[in-house]
Chain A
Amino acid sequence: MSIEISGLEYSWHEHEDPILKIDELKIGPNEKIFIRGPSGSGKTTLLGLLGGVLTPQKGSINAEGTVINQLGGSERDRFRADHIGFIFQMFNLLPYLNVVENVSLALRFSPRKKAKVSTHGVEQEAKRLLGALGLTDPSLHRKLISSLSVGQQQRVAVARALIGSPEVVIADEPTSALDADTRKAFLDLLFQECDKAGSKLIYVSHDKEVGEHFDRCISIDQFKP
């Protein structure tokens, strides 16, 4: 799925100057794109626009023929559920669900994703993904989130973003809480699993070094008015 943004303007409050202004941005299918910007520059805001949580005042976000910002509210939510997997900076997981439940939660809101894993079964697929991400110990799968390390939690979050093979994985500074060694290993796993699932990766961070691992690297500065 390719995404095309054109003529987009967004401001948090009406009558305020826009904080984002994107004339043209194309992201091809299976591309891995890195968007760099300092804290407070509007990275998370941009991801909210891509995910249909926010709607721009001007312009369009076209995902393979669907203009996301022209969909109704619940259609946008449905679009996000069906086509996107999110990974956040930290505290990605619900503290009252165990590891496997957190991963399969993504399927509860998307019959489409659920249909994709139905051949293996929800729980099997969740465990397979967790295993592929290095969380092989079966006793780990029933554990509560609070007993996991930050690195383990982020890998659970990746599994949740990838389950049901969404076309787009959106990552919002997922490595900022990890140390340098874990970070590299984490990125490698993320890339590898995105490839396997056939998902495109949109990754934002303030950390220049992370960008070195990506095919395409842009700065959010060009989207500032």
Chain B
Amino acid sequence: MISSSFYLSLRSMRNRMLSSSLTLLSIALSVALLLGVQRVREGARESFENTISDTDLILGARSGPVQLLLFSVFHIGNATQNISWESYQKWKNHPEVKWAIPISLGDSHKGYRVVGTDENFFSNYKFGRKNQLSYAHGSQFSDLFHVVLGAEVADELSYRLGDKLVLSHGISDVSFQDHEDKPFTVSGILQKTGTPVDRSLFISLEGLSAMHADWESGAPPLPGQELSAEQVRNMDLTPSDVTAMLVGLKSKMGIFKLQRAINDDKEEALLAILPGVTFRELWATLGVAEAALLVVAFFVVIAGVLGMASSILTTLNERRREIAIIRSLGAKPADIFMLLLSESVFLGFGGCLLGIILIYTALWFSQPFVETYFGLFIPIKALGLLDLYLILSVFLLSVFTGIFPALKAYRQSLVDGLTIKL
């Protein structure tokens, strides 16, 4: 009788409270780990793919697509070559192009990248589900020496509107040279986006030129040749080049044709990439690590389930007497099988349930922390189909593993009969 088996196994487990709850906990923790890995994977992929949206093409000097994506969108690494101002103008004014955002890299501030751009950035840059940038404070630059800060930069360095800051030449944290003669004033602070925008500072292309007006092929001015901020204002500050450009088209139909035209440009060796394609390419490489994480988590599950089976097996010998008594009361060998199997069923089921509760509680508590410290937003949402499959597989795995001690008890009960060994 299956209800009797359930009843007895629950009571017997309650009697072995400590060892049962430890087993339950180990399964619960492994389930929580599994689901946690899932959540981090999803969160990472989502925030990764949502770094930039609505941009149809990214242009740079000819190099690798992944490299171009890394420096133009993530502001990681550097371009070996730039796009000439003439090429920039040419493609920006191409009839198919709706808007173009210039990106000029090379400077930094306390480890954060400085991006030279123009007003197109603030009106046309989109992230996530086509969200536009908005200001927490102030507005975009209206002066040559204005700077707009990403949310994290302002937060970490405690900058407010009107603060003056000095940018540094180069991107390394050490051995940089400051542009201390030309400080920038904070004119705006952006809302948090959860993208690399938060960790960047934005100035106008002209501002960037102005900083370097008295520089000579990448070297600081010799003493006596410096130009003051006021002197610079009257100069022609048209930049000679940009590092990359983000382009939006009037019609999506023209993307491939334009991409080919840019890549075939006879005047300058350029590269145009479709961000989505390169994102997927990059994620595929990262995905190996991500899948490895899931495999490790699953091994933890297997360890938990094996631990359960072994703890049930060790109790079997001391439960021989109990089993013979139950048999004498009329229990079938199949009831004995169920008595032992239901233990795995309860532990597996309870473990999955507790694991779900654990991971949601953990996510709920750690979400703000993870977002601030790792820049990773992990959404708290209902379990997905894959999660349910994973949970179901943990449950089935524990039931399956539970078959072995149950089979042993079944055979044992047939061999023992009523002769109860002490």
Q: A132 on the interface (CB 8 Å rule)?
A: no
Give the total of B residues in contact with A, Cβ under 8 Å: 27
Scan B301-339; emit 1 where CB is below 8 A from any A CB, else 0.
000000000000000000001100111111111110000
> In the complex, A204 Cα to B14 Cα: how many Å?
35
| Partner-binding segment picked from A25-33, A46-54, A121-129 | A46-54
Q: Pick from A78, A82, A91, A101: contact of B321, CB below 8 A.
A: A91
Task: Say yes or no for A41: interface residue by CB 8 A criterion.
Answer: no
- Which of B24-32, B83-91, B367-375, B413-421 lies at the interface with chain A? B413-421
Residue in chain A with minimal CB distance to B416: A53
**Chain A proximity mask over B232-271: 1 for CB below 8 Å, otherwise 0:** 0000000000000000000000000000000000000000
Expressed in whole angstroms, the minimum distance between the Cβ of B417 and any Cβ of chain A is 4
Q: Total contacts A to B, CB within 8 angstroms?
A: 77
Given A51-B328, A93-B325, is A108 in contact with B418 using a C-beta cutoff of 8 Å?
Answer: no
Name the residue on B nearest A79 (C-beta). Answer: B330
Cross-chain contact of B419 among A44, A51, A96, A108 (Cβ < 8 A): A44
The answer, among A45, A78, A88, A93, for a CB contact under 8 Å with B330, is A78
A38 at the interface (CB under 8 A from B): no
Any B CB within 8 A of the CB of A80 = yes
Q: If the complex has contacts A81-B329, A91-B321, A109-B4, are A54 and B15 also in contact, measured as CB distance less than 8 A?
A: no
Segment 100-121 of A: residues with Cβ below 8 Å from B: 101, 105-106, 108-110
| Partner of B329 from A47, A95, A105 at Cβ < 8 Å | A105
- Note all chain A residues with C-beta closer than 8 A to B331: 77, 81, 109
User: Taking A77-B332, A82-B330 as contacts, is the C-beta distance between A96 and B11 under 8 angstroms?
Assistant: yes
Q: A95 contacts which chain B residues (CB < 8 A)? A: 15, 322
- Contact between chains at B12 and A96 (CB < 8 Å): yes
Q: Is the CB of B418 within 8 A of A44?
A: yes
Number of A residues near B (Cβ < 8 Å) is 31
Instruction: Point out the residues of chain B lying under 8 angstroms from A88, CB to CB.
Output: 325, 328, 418, 420
Closest-CB distance, B165 to chain A (whole angstroms): 71
CB within 8 Å for A108 and B15 given contacts A44-B419, A78-B330, A82-B330: no
A2 CB–B CB distance under 8 Å: no
Given A53-B418, A95-B15, A96-B15, A73-B325 contact (CB < 8 Å): no
Ordered by A's residue number, 14 sampled pairs between the chains whose C-beta atoms are within 8 Å are A53-B418, A74-B332, A74-B334, A77-B331, A86-B329, A88-B328, A91-B321, A91-B420, A92-B325, A94-B326, A96-B11, A97-B11, A106-B329, A108-B4
Extra inter-chain contacts (8) besides given A96-B14, A110-B330, CB under 8 Å: A48-B419, A53-B328, A74-B334, A77-B330, A81-B331, A86-B328, A105-B329, A109-B4
